Every structure is written in structure tokens, then in C-alpha cells.
Amino acid sequence: MSTETQSIRQKLATYLAQLPPPAVLKLASGLEREKLRGTTGLPYEMILSGLRPLLASLRGARPGKPDPLRQFCRPFEDLLIDGDDDGRRQGSIARGTVMRVWAWLEEELLPDALPDLTRRIIDHTLKGDSVALEAAVSVLHASAAQAILTATDAARSNAERRKQLEQRLGGEAGMDDAREIGAVLSIAAPMLALQAELPKRIDNFTDDMVTALRDAYIETSETFPNEALYLPFMVMNRLEEPSQILRFVRKVAHQRNDVVISRSELAIFGETLLAEMDEIARRLHARRAGQADLEPMLEDVRRFAQLSRGFASEIDLHRNSEWGQRVLAGRARVSAAVAQEMSRFETELIRALPFHQIGQYGRGGPMKPDLAKGPDRAREERMRACLRFVSGMTPICESLGAQSHCRSVRQQIEAHIGTYEDKLLEELRVAQGAARVNAQNFLETVAGFYEALGESGQAEVLRRRGRVAMGN
């Protein structure tokens, strides 16, 4: 891809990301319709490739009529992820691999059959012949699965062919993705049936849903023992709480004991959750305090806490077991990273809300707000970020074992703000000129700090007290 084309794609993706969901759905539906009709003159694939990550994040069924490529992707659409992370797990397929695999089918694996199948799918779609369409799509899935699996298996035993194939598919990860696409397509029928039975996003994995997955898994594993794992992987990606997939594991294993489950055929789902927790803990441990944006860190901590709580609630986790030790080690590393980051917050607050000493009493003498100049906006914004982090940590710190440190830091912050607030109001009553203006600005800064802490009511009380102090 040329630099210019890549730049155009990035600008297009940025623009599309700003569209509201109804506009995204309408645009995708219109493009797919015109593409099926054979209308020329539009860069369909460029636009649709920018829309697909947005469409994947929306709830509910996709409107419009799927084109052959979308029909090809339907069995594994829940497994698609953005990016090309070489460290990704089984059961995830990079979205960028799809077009490389489709081109491989068109040009090499199915050069005669694929054009005929795509024409049939388009014709049956436009005519509304659902029976014939389903048959054609089924043939597409079966033909592609056989061709992909045969080619990738052959490449594994031929070093030169493997090298060529990896170059075509985007490296070793791309070849692995292609193999997974072929595996999922080989069980397309049960994948599509289970997709239709379950919601697109699952807030709570109920016992009825767990039973539906178990039945589909057991039935599929009788014929495709290795590929059947993609059924629970698909469901796992639909869960708001990924750890709820352990309910399925419990039901199949008839056990809650983590030691027994970790040695079962379905241990991969526990390992998948633990691998994500390990990666988050590693990433947080490698951070340098004060050197990066706090928002991504908070998202990582929230995700770790979510997985940690869910893991411990869905199965019986023993402290001395392998899985129990990994969870505890991860919590310790995350807690240490959080403590290190938060240890600088009080210093940041003192810089954002400075005092200066009154008289000649030494270091322990009385202090009052330094109003020689107004708030430093850079320090103010850094402190707001710190306070948003504290607010975000408050409901999750206990699950990380960091509640003592979080509580201590929050109490120190609130004490400093409270003292500063009282003394600032005293100064506001008597200050004149530039000092009065600076005091008003600092009062708004303190109100903003309360809002960042999630204390909007306290911020409004402070503003009212400020107006009284100024005699308004």
C-alpha cells in the first residue's frame, strides 16, 4: 500500500469514526446495495473497510443485504479484531487478514469457482431467493474451508512454500489467521446457528444460553473435535463480562475447582483470561510514574479488576494453585504500579494549589494561598487527570488489594483541598485588584478539582460560598 493511499485511508477512518451510529448503518447498507447491483465509480472496499470496525461495535442485527465477502466472513465475524498484534491468542483473527485471504482465494485457490459462487450469491440476494442463497453460501464456506486448510497444511511441510505464503498473508500471524479462518468455515453451519440463537451483546450469560452453547459444542465436537472450540470463543467475544465463559467450562467439566479445570480440555479459556491479565500487569509494571497519560492506565486497571473479580467469582480459585498464584501475582504488580503512580499526586496538588508562608515563624508558621499569580493551567490539567484517576480507582481498588493506599491518598488530597478552600475564601473577602482576580480563578480551579473527583455537589457549594465571600 502506498504512503498516499494509507494516508487517505487514515483520513477516511477518522471522518467515519465521527459519524453517529444511524448514519454508519445507513451508509454501509447503501454501499452494499449499490455494490451488489454492480454500480461502478465508488471505492466500495476502501469505505467499507473503514466502516467495519464501527459496525462491529454496534448492537443488534446489521441492516442491508450482505455481499459475497460479508457472507464469507459471517461465521468468524465475532472473532475479528482490529490491528495485527503478533501476540494475540487463539480465537482471534486480525481484520486486515480477511482481504488478503479473499484475494488468495480469488487468484490462486479458487480462481474458477469463486467468481461463479459470488455471481450466484449476488443473483440470489437481489432476487430474494433465500433457499438458493443459503445453499450457495454453504458451498462457498465449504469450498473455501477445504482450499485454505489444504494449502496451509501443505505449506507447513514445505519451507519454501511456507515462506511464500507468509509473504502473501502478512507474515506468520497472517498464515495462522488464514488457518483459523479455514477452521471456522469448516463448522460454519453450527457457528451461524448459534450466532442466530444468542444476542449480539450478552449482558448476562444465563443458564439457558450456557446450555445452548454446551449442546452445540458437544454435538460439533463429535465431528470436528478441534474446531468446536471456536463456538465458545465466538460466545466469549459477545460477553460483556468475558469471565462468564467459565460458566460454560463449569457446565462441561462438572467442576468449579480451578485445579481440575486447569487440567481439562477447556483450560484454554481460563488461560486466555489469565494471559490478558498477565499482559496488563506487565504493561502497568513497565510504566514510569508521571511519564504517560493516566486515562489508558485507568482503563487497563479497570479491565484487570473486571477480569480478576470475574475469574474469582465464576470458579473456586485456590491461593496455592497455579491459577491462584498467577492472579495474586498480577494483583500485586498492578497494585504496586497504582501505588507508585498515586504517590506523586499530593506533590502535584501542592504545585497546583500553592500556599506561601505568613510572617517569620519558620516552616511551621501560618500559610495562605499564594495569589501573586493565577493558576498554572498545565499543572491544573495534570492535577485534574490525577483526580479523575483517583475517582476511577475508588470503586475498584478493593478488588486489587489497593484500598488502603487509595483511601490514604484520597484523604490527603481532600484534606489539602479543604484547607486551601477555607483559606481561599478568607482571602477572597479581603483581596483587591489582581489578587482578587487570581483568587476567583483559583476558586474555579478548586471547583473543577471537586468535579474531577466526582463531587459535583461540593463544587456547586464552593461556587455559592465564593459568591457570598465576594459580596455578590
Rounded (5°) CA angle 344-348-349: 120
pLDDT at 328: 94
Integer Cα distance of 447 and 438 in angstroms: 14
Quick one: average pLDDT of 434-459?
94
Matching residue, cell 491468542:
89
DSSP, residue by residue, 346-389 = HHHHHHHS-EEE-SS--TTS-EEE--SS---HHHHHHHHHHHHH
As beta bridge partners, residue 368 has: 356
Residue 41 Ramachandran class (φ > 0 left, ψ -120 to 50 alpha, else beta) = left
φ and ψ at 57, to 5 degrees? -85, -10
Q: Are 151 and 165 in contact (CB under 8 A)?
A: yes
Residue 352: pLDDT band (50, 70, 90) is very high
Integer Cα distance of 243 and 45 in angstroms: 35
pLDDT in tens, 368-417: 899 999 999 999 999 999 999 999 999 998 888 888 889 999 999 999 99
Matching residue, cell 466500495:
44
**Is residue 363 predicted with pLDDT exceeding 90?**
no
Q: Are 170 and 164 in contact (CB under 8 A)?
A: no
By residue count, the chain amounts to: 472
The H or E element containing residue 148 is: helix 130-156
pLDDT in tens, 47-103: 767 766 666 666 556 656 788 998 999 999 999 988 655 556 788 999 889 999 999
As beta bridge partners, residue 367 has: 357
pLDDT at 470: 85
Q: Are 392 and 302 in contact (CB under 8 A)?
A: yes
pLDDT at 174: 93
As beta bridge partners, residue 316 has: 257
Integer Cα distance of 304 and 281 in angstroms: 8
Which residue from 437, 444, 441 is spatially nearest to 462, judged by alpha carbons? Answer: 444
pLDDT at 168: 94
Share of residues in the chain with pLDDT > 70 (%) = 87
Matching residue, cell 439457558:
208
pLDDT at 27: 73
One-letter amino acid of 401: G
Select, from the ranges 12-21, 45-54, 458-467, the one with the highest average predicted confidence (pLDDT).
458-467
Integer Cα distance of 422 and 428 in angstroms: 10
pLDDT in tens, 162-178: 999 999 999 999 999 99
pLDDT at 58: 61
φ and ψ at 368, to 5 degrees? -145, 160
Residue 250: pLDDT band (50, 70, 90) is very high
Matching residue, cell 489497593:
402
One-letter amino acid of 439: A
pLDDT at 324: 94
End-to-end, the C-alpha distance of the chain in Å comes to: 64
Pairing of strands 93-94, 80-81: parallel
Which residue from 192, 188, 157, 162 is spatially nearest to 175, judged by alpha carbons? Answer: 162
pLDDT at 114: 95
What is this structure's pTM? 0.79
Pairing of strands 355-357, 367-369: antiparallel
**Is residue 33 predicted with pLDDT exceeding 80?**
no
φ and ψ at 363, to 5 degrees? -65, -25
Rounded (5°) CA angle 300-303-307: 140
Give the list of residues 6+ apart from residue 381 with CB closer than 8 angstroms, or none.
none
As beta bridge partners, residue 202 has: 239
Q: In this structure, how many other beta carbons lie within 10 angstroms of the beta carbon of residue 99? A: 12
Question: What are 403's three cell numbers?
Answer: 484500598
Integer Cα distance of 63 and 65 in angstroms: 7
pLDDT in tens, 209-237: 999 999 999 999 999 999 999 999 999 99
Integer Cα distance of 118 and 179 in angstroms: 22
Q: Are 87 and 276 in contact (CB under 8 A)?
A: no
φ and ψ at 60, to 5 degrees? 85, 170
Which residue from 235, 253, 254 is spatially nearest to 244, judged by alpha carbons? Answer: 235
The H or E element containing residue 80 is: strand 80-81
The H or E element containing residue 309 is: helix 294-314
As beta bridge partners, residue 257 has: 316
Quick one: average pLDDT of 259-270?
93
Q: If you average pLDDT over every residue of the chain, what do you get?
A: 88
pLDDT at 263: 92
